[in-house]
Structure 1
Amino acid sequence: MSLRIGIDIGSTTVKVVVLDEQNKLLFRSYERHYSKARERACETLRSIQDMLKGQMVRMVITGSAGLGVAKAAGVDFVQEVYATAAAVRAYYPDTDAVIELGGEDAKIIFFGGALEERMNGSCAGGTGAFIDQMATLMNVTVNELDELSLKHEKIYPIASRCGVFAKSDIQPILNQGGRKEDVAASIFQAVVDQTVAGLTQGRELKGKIVFLGGPLHFLMGLRQRFVETLKLDEAHAIFPEDGDCFAGIGAALCSSDYPEQSFDDLLKRLEESVDATNTVDTMPPLFTDQADYDAFVTRHNANHPPEADIHTYAGDAFLGIDAGSTTTKVALIAPDGGLLYTYYHSNLGNPVAVVLEQLKEIYKLCGDRITIRGSAVTGYGEDLIKNAFGCDLGLVETVAHYNAARHFNPDVDFIIDIGGQDMKCFKIRNGAVDSIMLNEACSSGCGSFIETFAKALGYSIADFAKLGLLAKHPVNLGSRCTVFMNSSVKQAQKDGASVEDISAGLSISIVKNAVYKVIRAASADDLGKHIVVQGGTFHNDAVLRAFEQELGRNVTRPTIAGIMGAFGAALAARDLRLNASGLLSEEALQSFTHSAKPVTCGLCTNHCALTVNQFDGGRKFISGNRCSRPLGKEKVELPDLMNYKYKKLRSMEGKGEGTGVRGRMGIPFGLNMYENLPFWFTFFTKLNFEVVLSPESSRKLYIKGQHTIPSDTVCYPAKLLHGHVEALVEEGVDAIWYPCMSYNNDEGIG
């Protein structure tokens, strides 16, 4: 038998192996290809020419990026699941499941009977690229991340569905003094959770499990998290010596089914395919020329508040503050909505200090000419700022944004606000907010999406955005996960696309993600006819133009798109029509003091983590409480009705008035069974069953049933019930009662 060559071309690496007649490994290589897969494969084959020159060989290509290379070169191809399965059956025939993590894909293959595969789809969270992103965030190499993780003492819960959301979890931990060792291990735990929860889909991971792919081959900390989470011993957790190129070994094994060919001819065909021109999928330009862009800018610049000058204006004014989670925005307006003063800046984790400084500045500019008649605050820090400075009104963000949008377009029926990591969409009906949509597990339609690529290509976000405005051939990058898009960008660069074309293509991708992933619109009419756009991302003219082109209609972008929350709050303060504002005076600000300390409330078993904010004059504001008792507002001891209900339902267990001779009936203690338990307990005990309830809901109980969840899109309470059912199975009940109840009987009460 001739020598056999297997080439595994993945999303980020190329693996080449050579097997002899006895399946002995004669050569192996594992190299990153940096979007130049064909070149990398050819370089590796040229390096072993001395071994194979003039010989007849069998060669097969596999891998997620291998099909295109195989077709271009006329080389045989085998699907990677079959290649992996072939290698596993040859070397570990009693395997029950395979977990394989690659650069951008993750898969689980179940053996036993028919081969079953689970693979990640539109999200690359929990893959090698996700780990790369997190290492970059922590300013360490992947190997250093691995070494850190092996010294961990605790695990933090970190989102693994999206690299951007994970960043939001990690940053506060590091800012609050969390150990890098603990964060590193938590990142690996997030990968494990994503793999187990996202890919098992109703199948249990048990028996002998083989772990494959680069991340699981090189990262000892990741291995440790998998072994501990799945509770595997050495006999059931198999890490092959060549696990990083196992699919390549499988491809070589599969080549036995294909004809022999000349090695020299195969190498020549691969080399010729490198020079084959790849056509870049392009789209029409955002603007045809400079005049087209100038007309666009003129149209949108018309949406601005009336002109006002705080240095010359005299009269009444109204203050609006938007205390966001990361930024603070301030707007001081005249009665006609004219902007007298604006502020937009990071709050650096201390919004009170920022607002104090801004109020002092505003009072200094107002002098005796301007009187602040009303003030309102919205946003994440609404209650804190309202209590600290005596603002007259606190209002929810949606109302503040609607106030501002309505000021610029009285007929507004849809508002979309795109920030750095979040996206909010409001439908307006009959002058009120009718429905709200938010991005959940993916942030690829947000500002940080384009910021990531700007930094990677060495530009500031503002300069990068401008590059795409007049690009002639924007690259069609589709609407995909940030991690996947990274490969698309690299491929586009390889195929000759300019930075300008990529910038324009990314702006279009943000819009596609927003419209089709978050809003899930079938057409522009699903959004509305009078659309107002807000948020810092829409200051990017390329994104705004792409949004209009995708919808096929013009939209309204106020020139103050970034401070619309503060502007809307100021309008609400104006509409209060107060004679005098309760806002702290300029004199009171001079003696203003603020301190905050964390305390744990001991007034009940909730043990809420409170923050006690103390201000000058003995003023106090307590946040974090889930009831009014820490505020000292409880005059009488009220009964804990939730606790009463829980204990009452929990007591409905056992034989009741029956004998229990017909067996033990398990009932999951959650969802509709929780509410309907009095009926079912009476029903089954009257029939002489003994009722057994599942334990109280907990994180531990959720993990118990995690492997049985068939869909990642169901709600958390529904996922949690899988743990309740598993607990009843372990309890050894005779049957579990959980009927499908699409509706309850209407008893005509009320």
Structure 2
Amino acid sequence: DKINAKLKIPTVDLGNQGYHGIKLHKVAGKCGVFAETDINGLQKVGTPPDELMASLFEAIVLQNLSVLTRGHTLRPHVLLLGGPNSFIRGMREAWQANIPRMWQERKVQIPDGARPEDLIKVPQNAQYFAALGSIEFGRSEDDCVGCYRGYEQLVHYIEYGRQEEKAKSGGKGLIEDPSEFDVFKESYRRKKFTPATFQKGSTVGGFVGIDGGSTSTKAVLLNENGDILCKSYQLSNGNPIQDTIEMFESLRGQVEAQGAKMEVLGVATTGYAKDILKDVLNADVALVETVAHTESALKFYEDPHVIVDVGGQDIKIIILHNGRVKDFKLNTQCSAGNGYFLQSTAEGFGLDVNQYADLAFSAKAMPVFGYGCAVFMQSDIVNFQRQGWQAQEILAGLAAVLPKNVFLYVASIPNLAALGTRFVLQGGTQNNLAVVKAEVDFIRNSFRAAGRQPQIIVHEHCGESGAIGAAQESLRLWKNGQQTTFVGLDAVRKIQYRTTRNESTRCNFCKNNCLRTFIDVRTEPAKELVAIKKVTKVPLMLGEQRLIIATCEKGLVEDVNEMKDIKAGIEKLRDQYPNFVDYAAKEVFRPTNAKSVADPLPTRGWAGWSKGAMERRTLMENRGKVRIGIPRVLNIYTYAPLFNAYFESLGVQPENIIYSDYTSSELYRAGASRGAIDPCFPAKIGISHVYNLIQEKHRKKPLTAIFFPMYDVLHSPLVKLQGANACPTVTATPETVKAAFTKENDVFADNNLKYIDPVLNFADRKLFAFQMLQALQPVLGLSDEENERAVEAGFKALQEYETGIRRRARQVLDQLEREDRIGIVMLGRPYHHDPGLNHEILDEFQKLGYPIFSQNTLPLDEDMLERLFGEEVRAGAISSPLDIGDAWKNSYSCSTNHKVWAAKFTARHPNLVALEISSFKCGHDAPIYGVIEGIIEQSGTPYFCFKDLDENKPTGSIRIRVETIDYFLRRYREEVIRKRKAAEDIEAQLAALEAELRRERGPSSEVEGES
């Protein structure tokens, strides 16, 4: 309902919305907020509404089949119940398309000639089944169980009982003191904007800023002094190009209404749709919105310390010092959509969003919402309505919880005095005075500093602040001599465009085969179709310009030769700025060429041999043919060299050690329906990787066994730890996978496969050898001695791999120091090397010129550790450079320990910055979020993060964060260079002073000093 409202599809049309034959896109199904993020990004690249809704149907159905079925097979007949299934055709079709695929894969027999719609259907009165079921349940009970007493008690509860519940659970309204509220209104009443006046017949030159946001589009016109001449704001109609055309028409109309003529001297775009709008308008610059909002605040207000931007989708907190950006924080995917949530809730009550504040202020009491997740808040609304809370009270409660989302959930700062004293509130949501009142109260109550009080300002153009910052940038470029490339006002008025997103636009330049969006724009009347020289499946008309929206650079072209040029440029960047996360993800799986340590094949005669000895000889002879399948998941990204060398040294051929494919959405979806639980994504994909081994690798060439060890205790170079255990979810994943494939029938036995999942302790070499012997002796016919030799060969290969990659990382780090450049350290877990889990975010930074390290690839050279940690060791703060006891006492989890140590290393190295990566539902990461951030920020080094990563890749949100981080890293590098030069200047001055003193003292003084 919420997404349909955003897409503005009439209810009747939604009911008739189909699924069959409609192009589908990747949309998250487990969480409404994640789904909104995905839909928002797809909408801004021109994806049609019918494709968005069909994709949502698919996401909901797949989520049910992969998680809520708990691994069970839905057998015929299947009844589809509830309102959405009853009223929306596409929902029914999505079920009827997906369930038969499950039947086919699991060999479920269906009646001959039966159609899916006969076996999967909506019964009559499907939306009432819960009510009908309650009647049937009541009828089955004994007469003494229940006795109808009339509805008087229910009436009494509604009129009186609910009031008691409300009094216990709720709080006072937004206004506690009427006189204080009068002061608030006087201080924060919005000043009406009066557009500039123009002389009739004059030409008004100006600079246009366009902010194509998630829920609204904004535009401003600035003059050469940066003054606002006129502006325009409207809620998005779902198409950023059409919205922008209307914005220009509005600005032009305001100027021409006074008999003047508008001349555009520069155009800049910002917001979610900035890139597509830049291309359509041929704008001068596309500015990331964090920067745009910063520039706007600096233009209007002297020395702001904190900028709080709350938009429809994102929350941005920008912290400044002396007019320079010091730090910034963006909401995670979980806390997205706050502004739009307020709007959609008001509309759900049948209210215009402009009525929100007055209604919220009228509430004498309000319910208390939990902060953080919008889906949970939606559930709270339903519960509060049951308790009798009225619309105005619920709206007040939602306004009151928003600053908690901003400052406690996003910023994680309980005492706001640590940020500064001057707060500027901006973004379209600040037009809502109820939200402003809640923020002002929260900031004042959370500001604890003796002798200081916060100064809280609402940007006078809060809704258009991003557009103002963009226009400022185009003005700056013009002043620097750059002439505008804008297509012109008349051309904008004539803009026509057609969007194509189907099989003909699919990119085939790599195995991902991503779907692209072609936007063909023209500013002249349509002409006949003509052939063009470029290779294309979608013909262009005369006068059209093609814009291609793709997920990577290679998809931006259609001609293979142009793609090769782009690829060559990317390869050059990769060589120049190594990405050790990507490098490790590939290098770790290479064959080790381990020497054989196997026992010689017994040559004694067969007479008198025991059955066991004969069986062992047979197994030994067969080792060269044994094919071992290993899921490419979890800690295999650390231990693959060990296992490769172990198997190779015993005679298993390197080509017969078969890993599942790298994680992709296709791989995940193929096997997801067997999931019985819903853990973090890194654990959940274990099922899909085993499915890949069975359905893809085994079918091509049979495997002997699937080896999926249970990682228990891991090896670690750190000292004085409480433990080095793997995450319990990681440890247990192989067993949950086994359960998924043996729940209804044993899939391994059906495919003549052994499933081997030993518990392994990598910290105890003897125990590890025993565990491997017990697990693999029945497959390889091992003796104790050769097993021990193979284990030693495995650990040797692991050490050589780790030493080699750290040696190369040290070379790159030394180069960074020499060249005053910045490198990024990914603070994650071993499996975040998997490109399907890290969503190739690190690749985007590499393309921007940053070498990428990870916590497993940082060098451990003595001279480096002495330089970074030596002083603390000598002071007794830590016992060793590899001691984390000063920062983290509860050091039981191995990967957590490594993450904390890598944060310490990064914080102490001036050429490194941290980028924390964390998966949604990671219980081991949650306790150390504050620890990691505290370590990094204590050193004055920027801290950045991507949390809540899951199976879906929110491309638009990731792009905003990458561009923002890049902007601040460039500023940080400038600061590093400035500090180094300042230090060199001071050293030079001291050296000159020392030389001067020596000259004054003369040669005799030097001799006396030496003696």
User: What's the TM-score bracket when you normalise by the shorter of the two chains?
Assistant: 0.5 to 0.7
TM-score in terms of structure 2 length: 0.49
Q: Distance in 2 between matches of 1:526 and 1:198?
A: 43
1:562: Cα distance to partner? 0.6
Residue 12 of structure 1 is matched in structure 2 by: none
Residue of structure 2 aligned with 1:630, choices 557, 569, 589: 557
Asked whether 1:205 is paired with 2:72, we answer yes
1:687: Cα distance to partner? 3.5
What SS does the corresponding residue of 1:689 show, helix, strand or coil?
coil
Residue of structure 2 aligned with 1:437, choices 304, 318, 330: 330
What SS does the corresponding residue of 2:518 show, helix, strand or coil?
strand
Change (3 A) 1:210 1:478: farther
Residue 708 of structure 2 is matched in structure 1 by: 736
1:545: Cα distance to partner? 0.8
Residue of structure 2 aligned with 1:611, choices 510, 514, 518: 518
Residue 62 of structure 2 is matched in structure 1 by: 193
What SS does the corresponding residue of 2:623 show, helix, strand or coil?
coil
What SS does the corresponding residue of 1:468 show, helix, strand or coil?
helix
Residue 180 of structure 2 is matched in structure 1 by: 292
Residue of structure 1 aligned with 2:484, choices 577, 583, 588: 583
Query: Going by fraction, where is helix more abundant, 1 or 2?
Result: 2
Change (3 A) 1:365 1:272: closer
Q: For 1:42-61, what per-residue CA distance to the aligned partner results, in whole angstroms no more than 9, with x for missing partners? A: xxxxxxxxxxxxxxxxxxxx
Change (3 A) 1:657 1:324: same
Change (3 A) 1:230 1:325: same
Q: Specify the code of the residue in structure 1 equivalent to 2:462.
A: A
Residue 94 of structure 1 is matched in structure 2 by: none
Alignment of 1:55-134 (within 5 A): none
1:339: Cα distance to partner? 1.7
Change (3 A) 1:271 1:545: closer
Change (3 A) 1:228 1:157: farther
**Which range moves more in the overlay, 445-454 or 591-600?**
591-600
On the 8 A contact 1:134/1:167 being kept in 2, the answer is: no
Residue 648 of structure 2 is matched in structure 1 by: 685
1:635: Cα distance to partner? 6.0
Change (3 A) 1:630 1:669: same
Residue 565 of structure 1 is matched in structure 2 by: 466
Change (3 A) 1:379 1:464: closer
Change (3 A) 1:503 1:324: closer
Q: Specify the code of the residue in structure 2 equivalent to 1:331.
A: V
What SS does the corresponding residue of 1:544 show, helix, strand or coil?
helix
Change (3 A) 1:534 1:209: farther
Change (3 A) 1:687 1:447: same
Q: Distance in 2 between matches of 1:234 and 1:579?
A: 73
Q: Distance in 2 between matches of 1:591 and 1:362?
A: 16
Residue 368 of structure 2 is matched in structure 1 by: 476
Change (3 A) 1:137 1:327: closer
Asked whether 1:725 is paired with 2:690, we answer yes
1:263: Cα distance to partner? 3.5
Q: Specify the code of the residue in structure 2 equivalent to 1:194.
A: Q
What SS does the corresponding residue of 1:321 show, helix, strand or coil?
strand
On the 8 A contact 1:330/1:344 being kept in 2, the answer is: yes
Asked whether 1:600 is paired with 2:508, we answer no
1:695: Cα distance to partner? 3.2
Change (3 A) 1:185 1:669: same
What SS does the corresponding residue of 2:172 show, helix, strand or coil?
coil
Q: Specify the code of the residue in structure 2 equivalent to 1:378.
A: T
TM-score in terms of structure 1 length: 0.63
1:399: Cα distance to partner? 0.7
1:397: Cα distance to partner? 1.2
Change (3 A) 1:408 1:234: farther
Change (3 A) 1:193 1:640: same
On the 8 A contact 2:317/2:329 being kept in 1, the answer is: yes
Q: Distance in 2 between matches of 1:588 and 1:141?
A: 36
Residue 628 of structure 2 is matched in structure 1 by: 665
Change (3 A) 1:583 1:671: farther
Q: Distance in 2 between matches of 1:687 and 1:678?
A: 14
Residue 114 of structure 1 is matched in structure 2 by: none
Q: For 1:175-211, what per-residue CA distance to the aligned partner results, in whole angstroms no more than 9, with x for missing partners? A: 989797x8877555433333344557xx633598998
Q: Distance in 1 between matches of 2:5 and 2:30?
A: 13
- Higher RCO (CA-CA < 8 Å; seq separation 6+): 1
1:384: Cα distance to partner? 4.3
Residue of structure 1 aligned with 2:665, choices 699, 724, 748: 699
On the 8 A contact 2:264/2:489 being kept in 1, the answer is: no
Q: Specify the code of the residue in structure 2 equivalent to 1:735.
A: F
1:285: Cα distance to partner? 2.8
1:540: Cα distance to partner? 0.6
What SS does the corresponding residue of 1:194 show, helix, strand or coil?
helix
Change (3 A) 1:218 1:500: closer
1:561: Cα distance to partner? 0.7
Alignment of 1:345-744 (within 5 A): 345=234, 346=236, 348-351=239-242, 353-354=245-246, 357=249, 360-361=252-253, 375-389=267-281, 391-428=283-320, 431-432=324-325, 434-441=327-334, 446-479=338-371, 481=375, 483-492=378-387, 495=388, 497-515=389-407, 518-519=410-411, 522=414, 524=416, 529-551=421-443, 552=445, 555-576=456-477, 578=479, 580-583=481-484, 589=490, 594=495, 596=497, 598=500, 600=505, 604-605=509-510, 609=516, 611=518, 613=520, 620=545, 622-625=547-550, 626-627=552-553, 630=557, 638=568, 661=623, 663-669=626-632, 673=636, 681-682=644-645, 684-690=647-653, 691-695=657-661, 697-706=663-672, 714=680, 719-720=684-685, 722-728=687-693, 731=698, 733-736=705-708
Change (3 A) 1:336 1:543: same
What SS does the corresponding residue of 1:666 show, helix, strand or coil?
strand
1:292: Cα distance to partner? 3.0
Residue 332 of structure 1 is matched in structure 2 by: 221
1:467: Cα distance to partner? 1.6
Change (3 A) 1:677 1:324: same
**Which range moves more in the overlay, 547-556 or 590-599?**
590-599
Change (3 A) 1:470 1:423: same
Q: Specify the code of the residue in structure 2 equivalent to 1:545.
A: K
Q: Distance in 2 between matches of 1:593 and 1:651?
A: 56
Residue 74 of structure 1 is matched in structure 2 by: none
CA RMSD of aligned residues (A): 5.7
Q: Distance in 2 between matches of 1:476 and 1:542?
A: 15
Q: Distance in 2 between matches of 1:287 and 1:321?
A: 36
Q: Specify the code of the residue in structure 2 equivalent to 1:309.
A: A
Q: Distance in 2 between matches of 1:474 and 1:198?
A: 36
Q: Distance in 2 between matches of 1:230 and 1:639?
A: 44
Change (3 A) 1:395 1:130: closer
In structure 2, list runs of 5 or more residues that go unmatched.
Answer: 112-118, 448-453, 525-542, 575-581, 599-621, 699-703, 718-798, 812-1011
Q: Specify the code of the residue in structure 2 equivalent to 1:440.
A: Q
Q: Distance in 1 between matches of 2:146 and 2:588?
A: 75
On the 8 A contact 2:496/2:523 being kept in 1, the answer is: no
On the 8 A contact 1:416/1:426 being kept in 2, the answer is: yes
Asked whether 1:277 is paired with 2:161, we answer yes
Query: Going by fraction, where is strand more abundant, 1 or 2?
Result: 1
Identity %: 23
Residue of structure 2 aligned with 1:311, choices 182, 198, 213: 198
On the 8 A contact 1:326/1:349 being kept in 2, the answer is: no
1:448: Cα distance to partner? 3.1
The number of residue pairs the alignment matches comes to 608
In structure 1, list runs of 5 or more residues that go unmatched.
Answer: 1-128
**Which range moves more in the overlay, 337-346 or 386-395?**
386-395
Q: Specify the code of the residue in structure 1 equivalent to 2:161.
A: T
Q: For 1:516-557, what per-residue CA distance to the aligned partner results, in whole angstroms no more than 9, with x for missing partners? A: 555555554687654332222221111111122234256321
Q: Distance in 2 between matches of 1:130 and 1:368?
A: 43
On the 8 A contact 2:62/2:673 being kept in 1, the answer is: no
Q: Specify the code of the residue in structure 1 equivalent to 2:286.
A: G
What SS does the corresponding residue of 1:277 show, helix, strand or coil?
helix
